[in-house]
Amino acid sequence: MISKELAGRQLFMDSDEEEQERGITIDSSNVSMVHNFDNEDYLINLIDTPGHVDFGGDVTRAMRAVDGAVVVVDAVEGTMPQTETVLRQALREHVRPVLFVNKVDRLINELQVDSQEMQIRLGKVIDHVNKLIKNMNPEKYKEGWRVDAAAGTVAFGSALYNWAISVPMMKKTGVSFRDVYDYCKAGDMKSLAEKCPLHEAVLDMVIHFLPNPLEAQKDRVKVIWHGDENSEIGTSMTHANADGDLAFMVTDISVDPHAGEVATGRLFSGSFSRGMEVFTSGTAKKSRVQQVSIFMGPERLEVDKIPAGNIAAVTGLKDAIVGSTVTTLEGMEPFESIRHVSEPVVTVAVEAKHTKDLPKLIEVLRQVAKEDPTLQITLDEETGEHLMAGMGELHLEVIAHRIERDKNVEITTSKPIVVYRETIKKKIEPVEGKSPNRHNRFYIYVEPLDLEIVSAIKAGDIHMNLPELERRQKLIDLGMNKEEAKGIVGIFNSNIFIDMTKGIQYLNETMELILDGFEEVMRAGPLTREPVANVKCVLVDAKLHEDAIHRGPAQVIPASRQAIQAGMLMADDTLLEPYQKVFVQVPQLLMGGATKELQGRRGIILNMSTEGDLAIIEARVPVAEMFGFAGEIRSATEGRAMWSTEFGGFDIVPTSIQNDIVGQIRERKGLKKELPKASDFLSM
């Protein structure tokens, strides 16, 4: 599809000007292409996904649309933290991996290794990838999902110079490892690219080893859809039936200046054609499909019909968001929601430069949030600021640039601010929350939620849509007692609300309002109005007025909210701050500068190892201390450090600096300077 001269340089899939300037992939982009293998034509749907940790959400979403993945690893740097994250996502979604080891020419020409050493190094990379697969999914590993050069599931090459080699390719072309070494040594990449074209090696491997939709959907539908497998739609999806009811999962939304919103995703059953009427999960009314097309990198090609098993791009689905299920079957059980690995940890406040752009800015932010679900947009009603929370500095910088460039709204953004979480340290006695009219009382206690249960909620194993018995059993297995597991009535983020009362009249009809109060506090805790994490709230008793008029929202919500707020302050309300894992590779002579830089940022060094003359440092550093790290680490290591980061979870803020941080957050949000006390929230 692109000329041989330009391949490796044209950046066909990185068509956005910002991607080309920065030299990284920011958006996933799709291409559908035909490849001839053994004299037969095959259609391959390919998605090119970003490698940078800030855009990991794109990878997660793309995994839902594909059945196999080509994992690209640098021959010189070996597997990186992102390789691990991506493999984990692939195996969780039952997407089969094959391996491509890139930049083999660097091993030969820059590191000057001989052909023996080259094979040893490449062997190490393969072993490490297999070790990761084995640890993450032992069953699939046993089923033969390991990557193996001899079997042909590994290819080696150079994407820049357009050549690649694998064991089947060697048989086909007669070019051996020794020859590759000689060509690279001589710098004759052109002959190598003519004899062993990269696209042939990689696409042959894809067709031969990655499952086609007919094979893959038998296994994958069970993982991503929890409806009845034997129902008509279940069978239709398992067999990728093009004549069945439509079942389409939206994995990406983009905006076309002429056609409006384009929903791209995977078609598991049925066929898309123009003009058909479809339901979108979560909305009652039907939408009409306007255009049906496939992506060819930056271009969209309109087609008449797309059958099951393909990746389709459709316009006309106004209500669709990423994760929506689109179907012709009313009331179809939707697909499992897509779970992202990391959480937003950095926020900027966004304001329109010119007041006249304010209404447009609100519309644009709504659109940006729809296009990128890892972005969280909130309106701070007290300060009137629009807050944009994302995965990191780069993520927010790119989004802000796009708002100005593509949406033509000039904006100013504040300095990045870290998103903290509030949590509690101990269990307390029940607290009484009274309604303003004094007719309703709730007795609620709070305690820290077990971290194993928190992990299960975050991984999506426990949620309110699970059948009650299944959810109860999972919680009991994780160590919760039976009565509590039975009484769960609400889960919000990583917090749960449990009803332990017995036989209280009118409680059922009031429960929704009590949960509204609970959710309000979980969105903004009492200490700093930051989101709350890992808290268990338990309702042990309630006194309700028999007249429904006296137990409306204005009475019940404040009562449940205040009991939880006061309870949290009594239970040593404290802050959790986000951490990043930082991996630094630096020449041993300059290691001191790098470790000093990390430790000066409250970083904890977890591991240090050496490989040749390189030192590899693994550390955990608070996100709050990571601003400006790129420049500082460069100057501390004479620009010779390679580093990457991944989300490293949350940890309690050290007591010595907690009050300062709480003070700063309260001041920024325009709250009272003095710290709140439990009595502030309880009506006398």
Torsion of CA 349, 352, 357, 363, to 10 degrees: -20
The domain locations on the chain are 6-211, 215-327, 346-419, 422-562, 575-653
On the question of a common fold for 6-211 and 215-327, the answer reads: no
What is the DSSP pairing of strand 441-448 with strand 431-434?
antiparallel
Q: What is the pTM of this model?
A: 0.75
- Cα 282 to Cα 317: distance, rounded to the nearest angstrom: 13
Residue 16: the pLDDT is 64
Lowest mean pLDDT segment, chosen from 290-299, 374-383, 413-422, 460-469: 374-383
- For residue 417, what are the contacts with CB-CB under 8 A and spacing of at least 6? 346, 347, 348, 349, 668
Who has greater pLDDT, 645 or 563? 563
Amino acid 22: pLDDT? 65
Least confident residue range of 77-81, 154-158, 535-539, 625-629: 77-81
DSSP H helical ranges for 188-267: 189-195, 198-209, 213-224, 232-238
pLDDT at site 305? 92
Maximum separation of any 2 CA atoms in the chain, in Å: 90
Q: How far is CA 127 from CA 122, 184, 193, 310, 476, in A?
A: 9, 24, 27, 33, 38
Fold for 575-653, please state it: Alpha-Beta Plaits (3.30.70)
Kindly state the average pLDDT of the residues 86-95: 86
For residues 262 and 24, the model is more confident at: 262
The pLDDT tens digits of the residues spanning 211-253 come to: 999 999 998 888 888 888 889 999 999 999 999 999 999 998 8
What amino acid is encoded at 482 in this protein?
K
Residue 620 has pLDDT above 90, yes or no: yes
Q: What is the pLDDT of residue 212?
A: 92
CATH architecture entry for 215-327:
Beta Barrel (2.40)
pLDDT at 365 over 60: yes
Q: In terms of Cα–Cα distance, which of 542, 642, 530 is closest to 577? A: 530
422-562 is classed CATH 2.40.50.140: no
Summarize the confidence of residues 23-34 as an average pLDDT.
Answer: 79
Q: Are 558 and 435 in contact (CB under 8 A)?
A: yes
CA gap 392, 24 in Å, rounded: 15
Specify the range with the lowest mean pLDDT, choosing from 20-24, 406-410, 468-472.
20-24
Q: Is the pLDDT of residue 684 over 70?
A: no
Which architecture, in CATH terms, is 346-419? 2-Layer Sandwich (3.30)
What's the CATH code, domain 6-211? 3.40.50.300
pLDDT 10s digits, 313-349: 999 888 888 888 999 988 888 888 777 767 777 888 8
Average pLDDT over residues 542-565: 93
